[in-house]
Every structure is written in C-alpha cells, then in structure tokens.
Structure 1
Amino acid sequence: MLTRLSELPNRLRELPALAARVPNVLHSVDVMRRAGLMVLSRPDTGVKALLAMRRWGPIVGAATISMERDPYALAIVDERGQLTYGQLDRQSNALARGWHDDGLAEGDVIAVLCRDHRWLVLAMLAAGKLGARLLLMNTGFSGPALADVSERENVSAAVYDHEFAGLMDALPDRVRRYLAWAEDDEAVRATTLDDLIANNSDKAVPVPPRPGGLILLTSGTTGTPKGAPREIRSPFAAAHFLERIPWRTGECTMLAAPMFHGTGFSQFVLNLALGSTIVVRRRFDPEATLQALEEFRCTALVVVPTMLSRILDLGPGVLKRYDTGRLRIIFAAGSALSPDLGNRIIKNFGPVLYNLYGSTEIAVASIATPNEWQQAPGTVGRAPHGCEVRLYDKDGQRVTEPNVTGRIFVGSELSFSGYTDGGNKAAIDGLLSSGDVGHFDEAGLLFVDGRDDDMIVSGGENVYPIEVENLLLDHEDVSDAAVVGVPDKDFGQRLRAFVVITGNVDAESLKAYVKANLARHKVPREVIFLDELPRNATGKVLKRKLAEYDEE
C-alpha cells in the first residue's frame, strides 16, 4: 500500500497528458465509426479489436477482427484462386504450428522474399501467431544486399518464391528455407509452405507472450536499405488514413503496390481490418489491372505513381474498354506524383485520386483529397488528425510563412523509434525529419519541393531538381523525366536532365521550353535521352545511377 501511495504523485502528473489524449481518442472513434470499423451500439466489438491488436500485433489483429466479424467473407484473390477470412485463419494456424515444430520460436526473425500472393499473406499471419519478427525483403534485391540485410537483422528463416531460389545461396546454411510460390511443373525439393499447412493441425494457436513485431526496409536508392521496426498496438492508428480517405468495410480493393513496401503494406493491413476483399497479382500489368478492377467490381486501387503512368500509356481506346465506374479511391504513394500525371488520372477516372505523402520512417505525414488536388495540382494536402507537420530552416528555426521552403518534420504515433542498427532520423521538438524540403501555400496545403540532399547550388543559386522534372513532364512529347545535379568546374554544380520521349523533340527544344517557363539557372545544361529511367521495385528513380551516368 505504501508503494502505491508513493507512486501517486507520478500518476497525478500523468493526468494532464492523459486528459489531453481524450479528444484525439474520441475523434478517432468517430472516424472509425463512419468507416464501419466501430459500432457504437456494440462497444464490446471495439474492446475485442483493441485486445486483438494488443495480443497479436497489427497483422494478425486486423485479420482476427475481420474473421470474427464474418469468417466466410472473401479475403484474398490471387492467380491461384480465392481464400476466405476463415481459411486464412486456419491455414496460418497450421503454418505457425509447422514452423514451431521445425524449431522456430518467439523472437526469431523470419525474412520473406515474395511477390504479392496468398503465401505472402499466410507467412505474415503465421509469423505473428508464432511471435516471430517479420522482415519484409525487397524483391529487387541482389544476392549481396540480401546477405547484408539478413546478417544485420539476424535472420533465422527465409520464405521465398521459386524465382528467387538462386538468391538463397547468398544466405548462410543456418538459415532455414521455405518455398512459398512454386510453379505447377517445378520439381520441388525444398520444404514448401503448402507442405507445412497440409501436415499440421489448423486449430487455434496460443497467444505468444508478446507480439513478434515487423521490420520494413527503406527504399535503398542510395545504398543498403536500413531496417525500420514498426509497432502498431492500437486500432485507433487506422484513423490517420480513414479521416482523409473514405475507406469502408466490406468492399473490394485492388492492391497493385507491392506489400513489402510501406505503401502496399499499410493499406493491406487497413483493408484486412476492414474485412475487404483484397485482389493481388504477382506482377503488375496495366491492362490486367483494369481487367481485375472490372471483374471484381473494385472500389479502390492502391498504386505507386509509375503504375498510374503505365495505365494511362495504354491509351483512351484501352481505358474505355473496361468498366471502372465503381472506383471511389485511387490511392497513390511511394514517390512524387507530378501535377501532370495527377491531372490526367482525374480526367480519365474522375475525382477519386488521394495522394499520400510519407515514408518508411514517418509513415503518414499528409494526404491530398481529390478536391485539394484540383485546387492545387501537385499538393500532398494536409496532415490528418493526430499527425503534425512543421517546417524548419537550416538553423532549426520554425518556418511559418506561406511559400517559404523549409525542411519537413513530422510527428505521429505511427512514426518509428529508430533503425535496427541504432541510428535514427534527425529530430526537432519531438518531430522526425522526412528528409525532404517543402512549403505551405496560402491555404495551408503542403507541397514537397524535393529531397533535402537533392538541392544543388549552381552559380550561387539554389535549385531543386523536382521543379524542372515536373515542368518537363508537362511537355506533350515527354513521358518520363528525372533531373540530377552534377559537378561543374565553373558553376560548382549544374543540372543534367534525363528524359524518355514519345514524340519528335530534341535537346535544344527542351532547354528552350524550360527557359521559357523557369529562371535561366534552372535550365539543364545537358539533356540525355533514355529508353527508360532506372527505378527500384517501388518505382522510385535511382538518381545515384543517373548521377554516375557515363555517356560513353
């Protein structure tokens, strides 16, 4: 009793902070009620959801919520068929038991190198039920990158698709290997996830002492990707997306963005909690995506911007061939969405575009609604309730004036707490750096002006390449563009543009076009024509490769 009384002053000091959270919690509850995730007449459902998240973590917790709501609801559609939420639950139980009998245990790290399909989902769920840590690997990895990340993260087991079998040689012998996707005619020698599911009981598994956790990897455009742990222990976190994007329970979403990346993963878990049907394909094909939207009557499409560009490249004739009239949401994130591309999407699909700005580390920073995009093409919108975005200058002083560029810092309960190697992002006033610079306009809408380290100084003038890129993308004969800074003996640095063209245009014409629309110091000294730009698996341009480009 004395011990409890001695703690009373500390508890009392916590009361103001707890009281301050009440309005946010109530707001989140209302947002989730509108989406259908919470029914105020059944408060027990909210308690069950909270307990599921606490016990199992975000992935298993989300699936459990929907399985208990309706086990017969269709959950996953891939090239091999369909699975209900009840089937996901039972098969992941069996897989977790198989892994346990094979020696995997709570706290082990299970790396998954898979494309989007049912076995990726089952591996995610089984890892959570085992209490293991899930590490989502980039399908664009080379052998050395796979080996480096696996060693740093102390991987115990690897789940892989048949196409990545050769990369498994880069892992040490101690790492257990399990085959996920196997071709029908393949002579399978490895242990498959199907084997473990077929040979083990699918009865419920005991709750692990603590949730295993999740590690996402950064995009890795400048070196070996870093590990960014994720801990989402509250169902209220979904309100960050639901407030600005009209997701609803029981609908159908085409998930084209890869699930190993933050964009695809976050929307996969959200749709899992909503009890939606999630349509996935192992590889992105623009016309097959349109076909799936029509066939499954999808109400939402999750993409990275390069996918939107490839869909529009099909041309009006192909676009009109498919009925996409049920689409209420096109969710784009993962890289910059140019004003031209966003405008073309709205022209062809209607006001359904939601442009999210975030990163692996900070999760969500802001979201532009269709109305905001139409008011200010190129904007990334506003921060959802519970998130905060501020700008700071190079001296750490806050920037509050409109149209003044500053470094972007973000705070939310979804932000990570540091890399697995012990490093972290720069922080000011408790907010994490996004690594970008941007500005607010007079209406309070956020614009990203470029990467903080992309800015070059040419002849004493500050230049952000993204402004030139967006202008080039507006040109009728340019289908893709990237601009980088390169050393210059006279000016310190100069701009070099890389473009992919569809029409008859030369370098001098493009330079004149930039000069007519921007200041002289923003005109690229060189314009190099490529068949395509180098990109990683999530569609981000590999600017380091372009900076090292040798015309010879």
Structure 2
Amino acid sequence: MASVREAFEMVSDTFGAVRVLQKTGAIDLTRPGAFVHAVKRTKIIGPASAVIVHGAEEYPDAPALTDERGTLTFAEVDRQSNALANAMLASGVEPGSVIGVLARDHRGLILALSAAGRAGYRLAMMNTGFGKTQFVEVAERENVRAMLYDEEFTDLLEGLPDDMPRILTWVDGDRPVPEGVRTLDDLVARGDTSMPPAPESFGGFVILTSGTTGLPKGAKRSLVSPFTSALLLDRVPLPQRGTMVIVSPIFHSTGFAVWGVGTALGNQTVLLRRFDAEKTLAALAEHRAEVLVAVPTMLHRMLALGPEVIKRYDLSALKIIVVAGSALSPTLSEAVQDTFGDVLYNMYGSTEVAIATIAQPHELRQAPGTVGRAPITSRLALFDENNQRIDGTNVRGRLFVRNGAPFEGYTDGRTKQVIDGYMSTGDMARFDESGLMFIEGRDDDMIVSGGENVFPLEVENLLAEHPEVADVAVVGVDDEEFGTRLRAFVVAAPDADPDPDDLKLHVKANLARYKVPRDIVFIDELPRNPTGKLVRRKLPTGPLA
C-alpha cells in the first residue's frame, strides 16, 4: 500500500508542479518543444547556466544583473560565461573537475556559476566567512583543482598548492595581481565568447552547510528536476521581468535558489558585495525593486535605522521580502510587516532538504514567527525519539521532509537519517490548530535543566519581545545543583540599559520557572555566520568572572 500511495503522490505532485510553473510563467505549455529543449539543456549544463542561456535567447538586451560596477544584459552575461569557461578549459582544467569559488555577491560569482556548468565542472561554493585553516581543509576535502576568488581573500589561498590555477574574480585593492594569476576582467575581455563543447553531463555543485557545529559539510547537487522551482513559486509569487535585490549570500541555499528561479523568469538581480542597511534601502528605491531577499539579522539592522531614515526611500514597489537562513522571531516578523507592509515570506528549509515550508504574509499576521505550510511536492512528518510517527496538534517532534529536490548525500559519503523516505532536518517542530508549522529549535539544542526539557528558541523569542533587547541567545552551562542551567547572552537595544532582574521577571511571568535563565550576560554582538545563523559554540559556557 505504501508504494501505491507514494506513486499516487508522485503523479499528483508532478501535475501540481506543472500547474504552478505554467501559472507563474516559468514554463509555457503552448511551446512544448521549447520546454523539452530547456529540460534537456539543464540536464547537460545545469540550471545556473541554463537560465542565462535562456535569457540570452529570449531577451538578450534585458538587464540580468547589477552590481557596483554597473549592469550586464543577459547576452553579456552569456558571452562572458562562455569566455570564462573556455579559458579554464584551455588552461588544462578538465571537465569533471571540482573548481572552487570564494567570492562575495557580484558579477564574478554569477559568471562562475554559469561558466562551471558549460565546462562540465562541479562548482564548490566556499563560505566567505572561512578562516584560513577551515578554507584549506574544505578545499582539500572537496578535491578542488582550481580556485576563483576575490582579492580580499588572497591570504586564505596560501595553504593551497602553488600550481593550482587561480583566477581573481574581483580586484579593488592596491596590491598587485600575483604573478601567473589571471583576472576575470581580462579573461572575459579577450576570451573566446562562443559556447564551449557540450559536456557529457552536468557536473553539479556543492553547497556547504552552515558549519555552526564544526567544519561545514558539502552537500552535492547534480540531479536536476524541472519541477524544483515549483517549491518556491507555489507560495512566493515572484514577478516576471522585474527586479530583485538579493543581500542574502548567493553562495548559500536561499540566495542561490531565489536567484536561479527569479533569473529563469527574466528578472534583473541587484547585488551588494557587503550588506549595508541603508544602501539596501537605497538600492530598493533606485531600482524600483519588487523583491528583497535577506536573512533576519539584516532585516533587524534595517529596522534599527528608524522610521525617519526608512521613509526617505520610496519602497512602494516592494511586494515581496523573502527571509530565510535563521529563525525569524515573532517580534521581528511583526515589526517588519508593520514597517514595510504585509510583504514578508518566511522560508524554511536547509541545504539538505531544500525548501520545506514557506509562510505567507497573512499567515505571519495570524501566527507571527510561523514557517507556514509545505509547498507543492514537499511533504512533512514528525517522529519521536523511537522513530515512530507523531500526529496531533501542538505536539513537538523531530521534523523530517520529503520533496521534489532529493538530497544526494554529503561529499564525504555520509547522509542524513531517513525514515520511510523522509529525511531528518535536525529540527524540532509542531503544527498548530490551523496546520501552520513552528520550529521549536534544533533537536541537539535541547537543554535538560533539573530534569526538565528546555528548547532555547522559546526563551529567546520571549526575551526578544522585551523593548530593551536587540538580540539574544540562550545556551546551557554546567551547574552543580541542576546539572545544566540556562545562560542568556543579551545585546541591548540602542540607548537601553536593561536590568538583568527585569529580564528574568519577564521570562518568569510568561514561562515555567525552570525556563528562567540563571545568568544574564550582556555582549555587544552575537556570533553569527554570513547567513545569520547563531554560532552557539562561540559563546562562553565556562564560569563567569
């Protein structure tokens, strides 16, 4: 019976995804030949390259991307991608090789994404927050054979083999270009702009996990489903031939996914190499952007500018803010929609399971902080510690996901736990009476204090509601009496001087006594990675001075 049910679900999901893609303009079923050709091309050169080729064919003179150096049309991105791919092939980097890119969000990163598929390379997208040791370890583990990188990261490459081919993707400093290192600008200006010979198959790409608990793992992706885009478009109405401002790092899942789907719809992408709250507002206003893609920390900093600064910019075109990467607190959810209107979409997923759920603006008004519902092709299940299925309202369980973007395993051969075809997310979740899902925290974040189970996220969200708290993290520390006690690290709101006892009383008035932090530690900034995730292991858990 299970196999029959799964077969029925697969057929249902396929037809549902087709309807979504047709309705949103991602495919045109009146041109079936063009659709079949696009699917075949994607399987050979990959989605990142295919969306650029499609744009160059359909609207060559339309703007594809804008960065601080100006705007490139789809035709220009297409030609420059060919030039980069041909140059790398000519340098001896063979199809099937893994190449790395260590770049901020700008044209160089997009060209690397597009060129890698055309040359048949597997592209490893490296984290711009890496330290030197981490970077070298990951490059060695992924068997990287060439590196494209921004000048500011030159020192990180010192541990790589001297004979590894290198290309500078962005140069803006005073240091001279190292001998033997070519620049992307030179390659695209002088290179062969014709399409390289088609590779035998798509090389794939590697997206690194956040690495909040250690060395980031590499999640490989080479299987391409034409319906993966439906996961996003089913719940987020991205425009066609509009403009998106993406400040969430494209080297990570969220920015990469929205860039790819949005580009397939002919949208222009505006990129900022470094996030700046007011410059983001200025970019939205200047380009009349309909879409902003960010992480919660970025939205918090934009709101911190205050209403006087925000109202200087005409944001009337803004219809969609996609947020993902870390937990969206109920307080931030409400503040964003109170400021920018009901335009917020809270996307939940992971590098491994792709998009699992998306909350739409009306759902966030109904239940601030929810991660919403599963889009088409995504199916959710909760399991207990004995791997038994959990049903019911407001019952917490381990979240597992099955969808149309299957995980192929980590590059070191490991994978995530799978039960009945559903893959573990590593998170705890529950569903409310309306079927909306809430993330309760990581299953390994649970703190046992005095025999009671506490998930830090619940306490963090409550403390974040306090008007004198700008940011907060809660961890467990050793305690002789209770085994573990709670310690809260608090970033005070601007011009505020919160009293520790007031914060404890705020928690005590709303939650059980055992959830009240024993320690309140004030710090200037919480350790977060480039995608906004809290790196708990960097918070001190030893005795307080």
TM-score clears 0.5: yes
**Partner residue in 1 for 2:194:** 203
Q: Aligned residue for 1:70?
A: 59
Give, in whole Å, the separation in 2 of the partners of 1:360 and 1:418: 11
* 2:536 aligned residue: 543
Instruction: After superposition, give the CA deviation of every residue in 1:99-145 in whole Å (9 maximum; x if it has no partner).
Output: 11100111111110000000111111111111001000000101100
- Tell me by how many angstroms 1:340 deviates: 0.2
Segment drifting more, 183-192 vs 359-368: 183-192
SS at match of 2:101: strand
Superposed CA deviations along residues 224-248 of structure 1, whole A, max 9, x for unmatched, are 1000001342221100100000012
1:414 aligned to which of 400, 405, 416 = 405
Aligned partners of 1:403 and 1:116: how far apart in 2? 40
* One-letter code aligned to 1:543: R
Pick the aligned partner of 1:95 from 84, 88, 95. 84
Structure 1 contact 114–180 (Cα < 8 Å) conserved: yes
Q: 1:500 aligns with which of 488, 491, 499?
A: 491
Tell me, in whole angstroms, the C-alpha distance in 2 between the residues paired with 1:244 and 1:466: 25
Amino acid of the residue matched to residue 219 of structure 2?
A: A
Give the letter aligned to residue 132 of structure 1: Y
How far apart in 1 are the matches of 2:414 and 2:195?
38
Match of 1:58 in 2: 47
In the aligned structure 2, how far is the partner of 1:446 from the partner of 1:528? 31
**1:134–1:215 Cα contact (<8 Å) kept:** yes
In 1, Cα distance between equivalents of 2:101 and 2:28: 36
1:524 aligns with 2:513: no
CA deviations 1:483-509 (Å, max 9, x no partner) are 011111111111100001121221111
Deviation at 1:184, TM superposition (A): 6.7
Q: Residues 15 and 201 from structure 1, CA distance in 2 versus in 1: closer, same or farther, beyond 3 angstroms?
A: farther
Shift of 1:297: 0.5
Distance, in Å, in 1 between the alignment partners of 2:41 and 2:222 is 14
Structure 1 Cα separation of the partners of residues 40 and 202 of structure 2 = 12
- Counterpart of 2:123? 134
Match of 1:111 in 2: 100
Structure 1 residue 90: deviation in Å? 0.5
**1:19-67 deviations in whole A, cap 9, x for unaligned?**
7633322221211122112223222232232122122111112222222
Instruction: From 500, 503, 517, give the equivalent of 1:510.
Output: 503
Q: Cα distance, 1:212 vs. partner?
A: 1.0
Distance 1:548 1:172, change over 3 A: farther
Matched, 1:41 2:5: no
Aligned length: 539
Partner of 2:431: 440
Aligned to 2:161: 172
RMSD: 1.5
Name the residue aligned to 2:352.
Answer: 361
Is the contact made by 1:218 and 1:225 (CA closer than 8 Å) also made in structure 2? yes
Structure 1 pair 410–322 and aligned structure 2 pair: CA distance change class (3 A): same
Matches within 5 A, 1:39-438: 39-183=28-172, 185-189=174-178, 190-438=181-429
How far apart in 2 are the matches of 1:197 and 1:505? 55
Query: Counterparts of 2:117 and 2:341 in 1: how far apart (Å)?
Result: 39
User: Do the aligned partners of 2:393 and 2:432 also contact (CA within 8 Å) in 1?
Assistant: yes
Q: What is the distance in 2 between the residues matched to 1:469 and 1:326?
A: 33
1:62-100 Cα deviation digits (max 9, x unpaired): 222222221111001000101011111111111111111
Q: Which amino acid aligns with 1:447?
A: F
**One-letter code of the match for 2:147?**
A
- Which one-letter code corresponds to 1:161 in the other structure? D
Q: What amino acid maps onto 1:414 in structure 2?
A: A
Give me the whole-angstrom Cα distance separating, in 1, the residues matched to 2:463 and 2:56. Answer: 48
Whether the aligned pair in 2 keeps the contact of 1:58 and 1:232 (CA below 8 Å) is no
Letter in 2 for 1:516: A
Question: 1:484–1:547: 8 Å Cα contact kept in structure 2?
Answer: no
Contact 1:52 1:65 (8 Å CA) reproduced: no
The one-letter code of the counterpart of 2:524 is D
Partner of 1:5: none
Distance 2:540 2:219 in 1: 27
Deviates more, 1:173-182 or 1:17-26: 17-26
Unpaired runs of at least 5, structure 1: 1-13
What SS class does the counterpart of residue 438 from structure 1 fall into?
A: strand
Larger deviation: 22-31 or 437-446?
22-31
Alignment deviations for residues 277-297 of structure 1 (CA, whole Å, 9 cap, x no partner): 000010000000000001001
Q: Could you give the per-residue CA deviations for residues 164-198 of structure 1, whole angstroms, max 9, x where no partner exists?
A: 01111021224221111001754323211122222
Give matches, 1:469-508, under 5 Å. Answer: 469-502=460-493, 503-508=496-501
CA–CA separation in structure 1 for the residues paired with 2:215 and 2:536: 15
**5+ long unaligned stretches in structure 2:** none
Contact 1:52 1:64 in 2 (8 A): no
Distance in 2 (alpha carbons) for counterparts of 1:549 and 1:149: 30
* Partner Cα distance (1:519, 1:460) in 2: 13
